[in-house]
């Protein structure tokens, strides 16, 4: 079963614009991670935010986490054509056996 | 640091045939994962090893899928016999003992069953 649900499932923007993707999840988490997948390739870890953090930055990436709403958002600022990819959120559950569960992903297209 | 190695990169087989995938994780990573990613979906965990022991195989279709991780290093995933619905990308990932810093994924094996 998949824990996270990304929204929107597809997003198309112009180069230079900001892209925002959202992720909702169902159970208590230890951390939430975002991954990027270029077509036909493996997933690349982008950023991790712990359950006691609310916001984190890495270069052009900004991640927020609202544990009360069980949701997270990924903002990519000043998008580039090279950002075209699918983006997945993944949650590490808290307590018991630790397992990372992926969402269904957001497909981002950045138009040059 | 070398990444997670997977082979083959692509495989096309007929239904009812068997197939095997290989993964070599990052050196020193105790935990190894096999994920199945069907087109348009997120990765689904098939099996998780810690060293050479199985931690979670609850979503592995054990009537046709098997996996092993001998000596706690590289791993093979086998499908026998394959079905059309097994067409997917099979991803291997590894991490340290605690998954606090994210996984490192291999490039995956794209399997097409015809």
pLDDT recorded at residue B89: 95
Q: Which of A31, A45, A28, A36 is nearest to A6 (CA)?
A: A36
Residue A96 scores a pLDDT above 70 = no
A49 CA to chain B: closest CA distance, Å?
Answer: 10
Residue A102 scores a pLDDT above 80 = yes
pLDDT recorded at residue A37: 94
| Residues B33, B94 contacting (CB under 8 angstroms) | yes
Distances (CA, A) of B101 to A30, B47, B96, B110, B113: 11, 20, 8, 26, 35
pLDDT recorded at residue A1: 43
Answer yes or no: do B103 and A102 touch at CB < 8 A. no
Is A93 within 8 Å of chain B by CB?
A: no
Answer yes or no: do A100 and B41 touch at CB < 8 A. no
pLDDT recorded at residue A3: 59
Residue A65 scores a pLDDT above 90 = yes
Mean pLDDT of chain A: 91
**Greater model confidence, A83 or B28:** A83
In this prediction, residues B46-53 reach a mean pLDDT of 90
**Residue A100 is nearest to which of B99, B106, B108, comparing CB atoms?**
B99
Residue A42 scores a pLDDT above 60 = yes
Residue B1 scores a pLDDT above 80 = no
């Amino acid at each position: 079963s998949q824990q996270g649900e990304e929204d929107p499932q597809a997003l198309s923007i112009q180069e230079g614009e900001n892209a925002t993707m959202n992720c909702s999840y169902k159970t208590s988490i230890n951390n939430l991670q975002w991954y990027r997948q270029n077509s036909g390739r493996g997933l690349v870890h982008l950023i991790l935010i712990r359950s006691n953090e609310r916001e984190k930055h890495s270069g052009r990436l900004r991640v927020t986490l609202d544990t009360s709403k069980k949701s997270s958002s990924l903002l990519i600022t000043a998008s580039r054509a090279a950002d075209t990819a699918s983006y997945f959120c993944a949650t590490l559950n808290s307590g018991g056996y630790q397992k990372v569960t992926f969402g269904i992903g957001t497909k981002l297209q950045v138009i040059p | 640091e070398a990444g997670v190695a997977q082979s083959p990169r692509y495989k096309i087989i007929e239904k009812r045939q068997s197939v095997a995938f290989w993964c070599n994780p990052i050196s020193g990573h105790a935990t190894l994962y096999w994920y199945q990613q069907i087109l348009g979906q997120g990765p689904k965990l098939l099996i998780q090893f810690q060293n050479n022991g199985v931690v979670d195989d609850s979503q592995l279709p054990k009537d046709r899928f098997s996996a092993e991780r001998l000596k706690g290093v590289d791993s093979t995933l086998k499908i026998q016999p394959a079905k059309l619905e097994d067409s997917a990308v099979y991803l291997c990932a590894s991490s340290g003992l605690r998954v606090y810093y994210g996984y490192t994924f291999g490039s995956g094996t794209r399997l097409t069953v015809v």
